[in-house]
Chains A and B, each alone.
Chain A
Amino acid sequence: MNARIALLLTLALPLAARAEITGKVIKIGVLNDQSGLYADLAGQGSVAAAKMAAEEFGGKIGDAKIEVVFADHQNKPDVGSNIARQWYDVDGVDVIVDVPTSSVALAVSQITRDKNKVFLGSSPGTSDLTGKACSPNTIHWTYDTYALAHTTGSAVVQTGGDTWFFLTADYAFGQALERDTAAVVTESGGKVLGSVRHPLNTTDFSSFLLQAQSSKAKVIGLANAGGDTINSIKAASEFGIVKGGQKMAGLLVFLSDIHALGLQTAQGLLLSESFYWDRDEKTRAFSKKYAQKMNGRMPTMAQAGVYSAVLHYLKAVKALNSDADGKAVVAQMKKTPTDDPVFGKGTIREDGRKMHPMYLYEVKKPSESKGPWDYYKLVKEVPAEKAFRPMDKGECPLVATKTGAVTPK
């Protein structure tokens, strides 16, 4: 008798399960910087990437349409959080992707958690997103500052750059970059000879570079981002730093920055990315399709990451046949391994960290480049486990600690 009831119940379950796509639309919100410093790194390119992923599903799942909307957060956390809130409350957005600028990403992650939606951060850097600020509704895609520090720091030391001097932007992000990289450099057997902190948004780096030059360190680490990095590299070229034998290591540099600087100025720069369009057959094929939509521009790792993240999200929604419960979708995404032409095969950890290898590149000399966007030569590949922070070191409350107890969220 009990067995029969149990059988009936299990048959009835699929009917009872609330499989629903909210509003019959899967709305993907691409939130990033459309007009400012990071517009080239993400911007409209990310929107195009998201649309490409939606097209892989034919633009719909079941009878629910997939829609992509976008907005400009102007790199301000209050603008970003207002848009996120309005998107979730009023416009029926189910998932927010991209979000460069860590301060905005942290705010969006918090709101996403409050409203039980999904946040896929393809562009932000802060490793806190899978650490202190981790959330069951957030997955940190593409890269993070820890991985950059580890890849650049360790690989550069291993290839001979064992004395370092840091040029650090004097705010939390820059200081974190310096701290993480310095730790790796020392661990790998190198030495940090000194550092200088410059104010954020400095235009004139001559004074700071002079100090870096006189330290005679083999490597000058740029613990800054955006305009500061570009200006540092420019000034370094002007003062003959690279010609003088010192190498520059950019701790947060993207393909779009190199494109803006030009090879003449940026040659010899060391940097890490998780994606480069010319890495293998699959990335070349993907990038060609992307370039057709984007006037010949090649995708940066942030934009490619949006494609990868949205693809995996849609797979999960299809499997669950629902996008209503953000936590459930993220759990589904963590359960399934990832596979796409951008990062190849990968996994998503319990703390929300997407795992894939990182690569150390060196910017080519102008003579070595065969054409526009042919900028990098591979120096080293670093496997995911070595590159990203071990899960138990992150202080993420979602992760069971060594004693087996799970700290409450």
Chain B
Amino acid sequence: MLAVPVQALFGQLLIGLINGAFYALLSLGLAIIFGLLNVINFCHGALYMLGAFVAWFLLEKAGVGYWPALILSPLAVGLFGVVIERTLLRRIRGLDPLYGLLLTFGIALMLQGLFSNWFGSSGMPYEMPSQLLGGQILPFMVLPNYRVWVIAISLVICLGTWAIIEGTRLGSWLRAATENAPLVSAFGINVPRMITVTYAVGVALAALAGVLAAPIYRVSPLMGADLIIVVFAVVVIGGMGSIMGSIVTGFILGILEGLTKVFYPEASSTVIFVVMAVVLLVRPAGLFGKQA
């Protein structure tokens, strides 16, 4: 145990929040997709990677910078998501959800393999946008501006998405379709289209996280591979039932991981799994989940 001064601890907490922001964004997308499609989107990590690569591609080949990429990349990857849903996921609707897991796992392998071949696995650098360079000089550390930006934008997107789903009519259709799709379509709502759009939105969220990650974590083909497993654990802990649950759990676990890095750094890669095992034994439905 280090004798950590309170101020340094605060710095570590802030950093933990950043990881939490990524966990929250990604588990939000996963929860949305699972809620409506009953599909565990294993390729979420690969699409996060795709989002980062699209941003890199835009910068390298088209000179399009970070700010437009924040919109363009999720759009592009969302469109790709539409293609995946229409051509592949639709064919296994109604089957055991485990097939969805395997199908998306296959898609993830293909994406990761292709990009590994084209770019090698050490990854490409992505320049930080100049407006966000530098940092705030706090008494205990230099807090890079970019990291503050990541936390802020993630909070905005997460809370905004939650507000849309819980507060608007579209959101209520979505929630209703999760419960009883045939009944909702009997009301004249185009359920298949809603499903496609939902998948695209969930995937776009992953891509957005990828663009946010590009300047600070190298853009590499396997950047999503190990991350996705941690996000799965986050989602199991939070309970898949609630959107707010996945957001909150994401941030909390990010902070927890950050604290572990201070006090017991070697365990920081496994702490989330340990928490998952404990939560499962004590409260199988997850912290915010509805009882199955």
Q: Are A207 and B142 in contact (CB under 8 A)?
A: no
Q: Are A239's CB and B135's CB within 8 A? A: yes
A207 and B220 within 8 A (CB): no
* Whole-angstrom CA separation of A204 from B268 in the bound complex: 11
A230 within 8 A of partner (CB): yes
**Interface residue from A196, A210, A231 paired with B15 (Cβ < 8 Å):** A210
User: When the two chains form the complex, which single residue of B12, B19, B220, B268 contacts A227, counting CB atoms closer than 8 Å?
Assistant: B220
Known: A239-B135, A239-B142. A36 touches B266 (CB 8 A): no
| Complex interface: stretch among B40-48, B91-99, B115-123, B154-162 | B115-123
A and B contact pairs by CB, cutoff 8 A, 28 listed: A36-B120, A36-B122, A39-B120, A39-B122, A40-B122, A196-B265, A197-B266, A198-B268, A199-B266, A199-B269, A202-B269, A204-B19, A204-B217, A207-B12, A207-B265, A208-B261, A210-B8, A211-B8, A214-B140, A214-B141, A230-B218, A234-B125, A235-B216, A238-B128, A238-B146, A238-B216, A244-B142, A262-B125
Interface residues in A206-264 (C-beta closer than 8 Å to B): 206-208, 210-211, 213-214, 226-227, 230-231, 234-235, 238-240, 244, 260-262
| CB contact between A210 and one of B12, B117, B123, B266 (< 8 Å): that residue | B12
Query: Is the C-beta of B223 less than 8 angstroms from some C-beta in chain A?
Result: yes
For A36, what are the chain B residues with a Cβ–Cβ distance below 8 Å? 116, 120-122
> With A35-B116, A227-B220, A231-B218 known to touch, is A213 a contact of B141 (CB < 8 Å)?
yes
Spell out B's residues near A (CB within 8 Å). Answer: 8, 11-12, 15-16, 18-19, 116-117, 120-123, 125, 128, 135, 140-142, 144, 146-147, 216-218, 220, 223, 226, 258, 261-262, 265-266, 268-269
Instruction: Indicate if the CB atoms of B121 and A35 lie closer than 8 Å.
Output: yes
Given the interface pairs A40-B120, A196-B265, A208-B261, the reply to whether A234 lies near B15 with Cβ below 8 Å is no
Q: How far is the CA of A239 from the CA of B120 in the complex (A)?
A: 27
| Chain B minimum-CB-distance residue to A261 | B125
Task: Find chain A residues with CB under 8 A from B226 CB.
Answer: 201
- Taking the closest CB of chain A, its distance from the CB of B290, in whole angstroms, is 33
Q: In the bound complex, do residue B217 and residue A203 qualify as a contact, i.e. CB atoms below 8 Å apart?
A: yes
Q: Residue A170 at the B interface, CB < 8 A?
A: yes
Chain B residues near A204 (CB-CB < 8 A):
15, 18-19, 216-217
Q: Which residue of B121, B147, B218 is within 8 Å of A206 (Cβ)?
A: B147
Residue A37, interface by CB 8 Å: yes
CB distance from A243 to the nearest CB of B (A): 9
* Min CB–CB distance B145 → chain A (angstroms): 10
Residues of A within 8 A of B16 (CB): 207
A227–B11 touching, CB < 8 Å: no
- Cβ contact within 8 Å between B144 and A239: yes
Closest A residue to B215 by beta carbon equals A238
Closest A-B pairs by Cβ, 7 of them: A199-B269, A207-B261, A203-B217, A36-B121, A206-B15, A170-B266, A39-B120
Q: Which residue of A lies closest to B146 (CB)?
A: A238
* A42 → chain B closest CB, angstroms: 12
Q: Quick one: closest B residue to A206, CB to CB?
A: B15
Q: Evaluate whether A260 and B125 lie within 8 angstroms (CB atoms) in the complex, with A35-B117, A39-B120, A40-B120 already known.
A: yes
- Given A35-B116, A207-B12, A210-B12, also A231-B217 (CB < 8 A): yes
A240 and B123 alpha carbons, distance in the complex (Å): 23
Return A174 CB to nearest CB of chain B, in Å: 11
Distance in Å: Cβ of B93 to nearest Cβ of chain A:
35
Distance to closest chain A CB from B98 (angstroms):
28
Contact B141 A37 (CB under 8 A): no
- Complex interface: chain B residues within 8 A of A214 (CB): 8, 140-141
Chain A residues, CB < 8 A from B125: 234, 260-262, 265
How near does chain B come to A188, taking the closest CB pair, in angstroms?
27
A395 to B258, CA, bound (A): 41
A202 vs B227: C-alpha distance in the bound complex, in angstroms? 11
Q: A36-B116, A40-B122 are in contact. List 19 more A-B contacts (CB 8 A).
A: A35-B116, A36-B121, A39-B120, A170-B265, A198-B266, A199-B266, A201-B226, A203-B218, A204-B18, A206-B147, A207-B261, A210-B8, A227-B123, A227-B218, A230-B122, A234-B216, A234-B218, A239-B135, A240-B142
Shortest distance in angstroms between B271's beta carbon and chain A's nearest beta carbon? 10
Contacts of B135 in A (CB 8 A): 239-240
Shortest beta-carbon distance from B236 to chain A in Å:
21
Q: Hey, which chain A residues are within 8 Å of B120, CB to CB?
A: 35-36, 39-40
Instruction: Please name all residues of chain A whose beta carbon is closer than 8 Å to the beta carbon of B19 when the two chains form the complex.
Output: 204
Residues of chain B lying within 8 A (CB to CB) of residue A210: 8, 11-12, 15, 141
Q: Which chain B residue lies CB-closest to A75?
A: B121
Measured between C-beta atoms, what is the minimum distance from A212 to chain B in Å? 11
Closest to A264 in B: B127
Cα A199 to Cα B226 with chains together (Å): 13
Residues of A within 8 A of B258 (CB): 207
Contacts of B146 in A (CB 8 A): 238
Which residue of chain B has its CB nearest to the CB of A265?
Answer: B125
Q: What are the residues of chain B within 8 A of A239 when measuring CB–CB?
A: 135, 141-142, 144
Are A207 and B262 neighbours in the complex by a CB distance under 8 Å? yes
Judge whether B218 and A199 touch: CB under 8 Å: no
